[in-house]
Structure 1
């Protein structure tokens, strides 16, 4: 164990002269060591930044220099914050600054989850020579369709909650931070929209910049915001951490595939903050589901910044339902694809049957979202598995349920749904949930997703899953035409219909 040197509030210059507030926690004396850079928009001085995003003291005591920085325009750093656009250049400047300090041996890693994960990717695409390992977690491959508009439908609840509850209250240009927090405290009312929210947004330069998510093609001309092709060219070793109930989950798995030098860890976690615990939503997945993020970061950084330790499994995933870990040579490993077809009478079968089903929509009563892959905005949005029985009983949803399974079946890999939607009304959205219905009739969501309807056939990506359906359990598919406030309230009444048969099918991988 090392005695430590702590330097607070260092003004690190960027290439354009802007100075970013930075803390360095490192061993005192003993020669140069590897550095770990953590760049955050959430205040570098908080216990979460120093103890949960990374174990800064533990890393420093183990012989690392930990560099924690407020990104441009946030808290004590200079400049103006605009989501995503400055992290590429500022990340490279910071990594290169750290590498040439007398306390650094020239080898640098980065770590952190969510936006901090994006900061790593934005830096890595420029391939700064000192950067030799990254540990991004719960973050997308491309923010355009992995964060802002997945499947072509704006991530409405998350985009609003992040702006009102996280970004605006700490922005120095915000004239009414209390108003932002007050709007954030009323999720259902705020997500429905209205003049008060519109005025609040109009008065904030940051909100105006963030409203990129409301445009048809967000960040289309922002060359400094990495696209998936540039991510795919990154060969820096990466430990990618994904959560089954995380708002970015499908894109995080895409990231693990795109990064050639990556290993993947996936568990039953949502975007509800750190630590990555055993419980999510209304379920406790057991003691082994809790994940020592700091320990995993250190082991990975030791391997690539100190050439210590042995290689890890390419993919390590937690199987919900069975509550066990599996190590695999690749994700999802050897699987067979199973197609299930919704049929009349609410059945879910392995053979297609032609039929048409419809539901009535109430313009004044939007179909709610319950749990799943959401950003926390309590009480309306809480990530994780919840009993879907009450939602499934509504008149504006369709449910299709299999016969009881004679033996346990484990679904693994991507879950997709193709829906033959109303050709005469190619509008709105489709939302789908794959659930596990137990012998007690409780219905627990496993995977879900929504997609904009743009034509007669709509493909819905429900994300990835590793879930064991036990013997005697049933597989359920639930379809709706909204999920508020996760997605926008679409105040449209009347009927919506889908055509059953070969054109409407659920596909899952089976181990």
Structure 2
């Protein structure tokens, strides 16, 4: 539990860093004191386990106190089993069966399928569930540790999950009511079982920090690839976890850190180059989701209307647990929107964590309760009603202090910024929801403007050509894009990373807030005028991007345990290859809940020389959400590169970027910020500005690129806002 020490230190500083906010200093102090007490119980449990040689009664009581659960009702016994046979009977999947000691079966059963091993050293949920009356089958996936066969990520999980569920239902210790549970890759195996099983074979599923569709996590629109996630995960699974001694793990981690080619702007080394060839190169080249490479690897559970077989029926009752800064978040919330249409007993809980933060104490408290309450409701005979647990749980800060009617709503989210919990009837929230539009201005401001009418069209493309206005022409309204984007002869990577951020410290005053005037649209307590003020026609801002020094990824949905979640963006804002747009101070608190979008008009040209550029400055801030789009452009024979929008003096293109879902509360006096840049290295594969026709493993650093962004009223940020009375969250997490 390497995350324990920094997590405890963060809690000790919670009162100063306002991670435990409240209406008064006394309430913040009380919240921080309770968090420290929970962590001390966790420290006691961690120290006792190696002393006792495994789970013991006192150690388990300490762990339950840390998670704010009821005390264990049973001791646990373990059996090692050979379970289902797969691959035509050639391979046997092996597992450990965890049972409550002294309880006669049959019992409701939970299946956890795990590629990471260490069933006795790591609690993947098997001990917590077994000591509360469940039979838990913890199985090694095919080709991992005790199981036979070859491990190919996600490829065989549907087949193996179905075989395991059917095998478990035939065992004398199983009551016939089966659920699946898992975090991260273990959640992928849970989704695979849901997707493969027919109606009635599964009674509940709790996927945590995971998704039903793999491709959307690894490949972004246009084909940009999540390099950091793939390399770190492959290293973790195929190298670090195969080592037994701690000193071997530390030595391997040090070598990986010193040779981390993926974090530098250098050509890949031979071992790393091997990762970019073969399956990885096929994944990048397979730009369509129906491509042969992704067929059978993408959709672990088909939730889209018309795609799921009628014989399979609706999915079982689900409880999805996500984190706002997790790289699975956008896909997981999309899974909930689809699943809730087919299955009314579908719940969603979103915490403020990143991927590794889901393993922190606060993340575990929420995830474990979600699993126990779901399994209690749907696996037991005559169990508690939906939304209740029937267990005497100590109150969880911020979650249980709200009215029961709100806690019973199917969507529970923690707002970034204030850390307050709120319940909604659906996601995204619809009660009082409206869009707030902010246009990008030549003064690097976000200017709040009235919402333009939406044109009636069946489908919106990702990028559309745009005509550059002349200097004498009046300021145009945002153009309506054509029905389809033009075909491109070739492509190059032009990643655009956007972050909507909450300021952590004041900065220079802005002039973007409009004076109050009678209108229907409102921003907090200020009204917006009905017309957009005139902006200079053809106005634009430029920056120079150099592939040899790519813009770094700072915080957000990163798989790097040292660079995920909320991070100060001060170092990023000082760079010359980032445009920073800032709003004026908010006159009233602003609540944002839903998907954030950006429409930006830009073009790019290939340059052989560096050009000086002004650096955008601003106060300290933290990130909320981000998105990225890879633009396609034809090759230019004169420059030898691909030029987006016809080059730096061309007409440009209109690009629409989804920045992902978010729920955040902006206090009065804070600002909203937007970053526009061309890389987020090493999270996304580096933008090389090179010939896209060159194979992936042979690409080298190309020439610098000058990017021009139009700020004449045609580039806009769209925030989904809800009134403060639409949510009832009280108390911090």
Same fold (TM over 0.5): yes
Q: 1:71 offset after TM fit, Å?
A: 0.6
Instruction: Tell me the distance in 2 between the aligned counterparts of 1:478 and 1:235.
Output: 39
Higher strand share: 1
Which stretch of structure 1 is more off in the superposition, 390-399 or 210-219? Answer: 210-219
Instruction: Tell me the distance in 1 between the aligned counterparts of 2:711 and 2:268.
Output: 43
Which stretch of structure 1 is more off in the superposition, 101-110 or 133-142? Answer: 133-142
Which stretch of structure 1 is more off in the superposition, 225-234 or 328-337? Answer: 225-234
Q: 1:227 offset after TM fit, Å?
A: 2.9
1:255 to 324, 335, 354: 335
Aligned CA distance change for structure 1 residues 341 and 291 (closer, same or farther; 3 Å)? farther
Q: Matches of residues 25-424 of structure 1 in structure 2 within 5 Å?
A: 25-27=98-100, 28-45=102-119, 47-48=121-122, 51=123, 53-54=124-125, 56-128=126-198, 129-149=200-220, 152-170=223-241, 184-186=256-258, 189-192=261-264, 197-199=269-271, 202=274, 208-209=278-279, 211-217=281-287, 220-221=291-292, 222-227=294-299, 230-232=302-304, 233=308, 234-260=314-340, 261=343, 262-272=346-356, 274-278=358-362, 291-306=365-380, 307-312=382-387, 313-333=409-429, 334=431, 335-351=433-449, 353=535, 354=537, 355-376=539-560, 378=562, 382-422=563-603
Which stretch of structure 1 is more off in the superposition, 191-200 or 315-324? Answer: 191-200
Secondary structure in 2 matching 1:22: strand
Aligned CA distance change for structure 1 residues 9 and 196 (closer, same or farther; 3 Å)? farther
Deviations 1:83-142 (A, max 9, x none): 111000000000111111000011110001111111111121223432111101111231
Instruction: Tell me the distance in 2 between the aligned counterparts of 1:6 and 1:302.
Output: 22
Tell me if structure 2 keeps the 8 A contact 1:449–1:461. Answer: yes
Larger radius of gyration: 2
Secondary structure in 2 matching 1:83: coil
Match of 2:717 in 1: 506
Tell me if structure 1 keeps the 8 A contact 2:595–2:719. Answer: yes
Secondary structure in 2 matching 1:125: helix
Instruction: Tell me the distance in 2 between the aligned counterparts of 1:24 and 1:326.
Output: 38
Instruction: Tell me the distance in 2 between the aligned counterparts of 1:423 and 1:229.
Output: 40
Residue 462 (1) aligns with residue 665 (2) = no
Q: 1:462 offset after TM fit, Å?
A: 1.4
Aligned CA distance change for structure 1 residues 318 and 177 (closer, same or farther; 3 Å)? closer
Q: 1:361 offset after TM fit, Å?
A: 2.0
Instruction: Tell me the distance in 2 between the aligned counterparts of 1:196 and 1:182.
Output: 18
Tell me if structure 1 keeps the 8 A contact 2:598–2:656. Answer: yes
Deviations 1:260-319 (A, max 9, x none): 3321000111111553445xxxxxxxxxx7733222201111111124223332100001
Deviations 1:373-413 (A, max 9, x none): 111154xxx11111111211211100111110011101111
Instruction: Tell me the distance in 2 between the aligned counterparts of 1:497 and 1:331.
Output: 36
Aligned CA distance change for structure 1 residues 346 and 140 (closer, same or farther; 3 Å)? same
Secondary structure in 2 matching 1:256: helix
Aligned CA distance change for structure 1 residues 210 and 303 (closer, same or farther; 3 Å)? farther
Tell me if structure 1 keeps the 8 A contact 2:440–2:713. Answer: no
Tell me if structure 2 keeps the 8 A contact 1:179–1:200. Answer: no
Secondary structure in 1 matching 2:302: helix
Match of 1:445 in 2: 623
Match of 2:472 in 1: none
Secondary structure in 2 matching 1:43: coil
Instruction: Tell me the distance in 2 between the aligned counterparts of 1:125 and 1:94.
Output: 13
Instruction: Tell me the distance in 2 between the aligned counterparts of 1:149 and 1:274.
Output: 23
Aligned CA distance change for structure 1 residues 37 and 370 (closer, same or farther; 3 Å)? same
Aligned CA distance change for structure 1 residues 193 and 445 (closer, same or farther; 3 Å)? closer
Secondary structure in 2 matching 1:159: helix
Instruction: Tell me the distance in 2 between the aligned counterparts of 1:479 and 1:66.
Output: 48
Which stretch of structure 1 is more off in the superposition, 212-221 or 129-138? Answer: 212-221
Match of 2:478 in 1: none
Tell me if structure 2 keeps the 8 A contact 1:412–1:466. Answer: yes
Instruction: Tell me the distance in 2 between the aligned counterparts of 1:5 and 1:188.
Output: 43
Which stretch of structure 1 is more off in the superposition, 463-472 or 182-191? Answer: 182-191
TM-score w.r.t. length of structure 1? 0.85
Secondary structure in 1 matching 2:446: strand
Instruction: Tell me the distance in 2 between the aligned counterparts of 1:145 and 1:190.
Output: 21
Secondary structure in 1 matching 2:269: helix
Tell me if structure 2 keeps the 8 A contact 1:165–1:181. Answer: no
TM-score w.r.t. length of structure 2? 0.61
Point out where structure 1 has 5 or more consecutive residues left out of the alignment: 279-288, 426-436
Secondary structure in 2 matching 1:131: coil
Q: 1:163 offset after TM fit, Å?
A: 1.4
Secondary structure in 2 matching 1:259: helix
Secondary structure in 1 matching 2:626: strand
Q: 1:62 offset after TM fit, Å?
A: 1.9
Point out where structure 2 has 5 or more consecutive residues left out of the alignment: 1-72, 309-313, 388-408, 450-531, 607-617, 634-652, 689-702, 723-733
Q: 1:424 offset after TM fit, Å?
A: 6.5
Aligned CA distance change for structure 1 residues 178 and 442 (closer, same or farther; 3 Å)? closer
Q: 1:191 offset after TM fit, Å?
A: 4.0
Query: What is the total number of aligned residue pairs between the two structures?
Result: 475
Instruction: Tell me the distance in 2 between the aligned counterparts of 1:12 and 1:320.
Output: 44
Aligned CA distance change for structure 1 residues 200 and 321 (closer, same or farther; 3 Å)? closer
Residue 476 (1) aligns with residue 673 (2) = yes
Tell me if structure 2 keeps the 8 A contact 1:187–1:377. Answer: no
Q: 1:207 offset after TM fit, Å?
A: 8.0
Instruction: Tell me the distance in 2 between the aligned counterparts of 1:238 and 1:504.
Output: 39
Which stretch of structure 1 is more off in the superposition, 480-489 or 301-310? Answer: 301-310
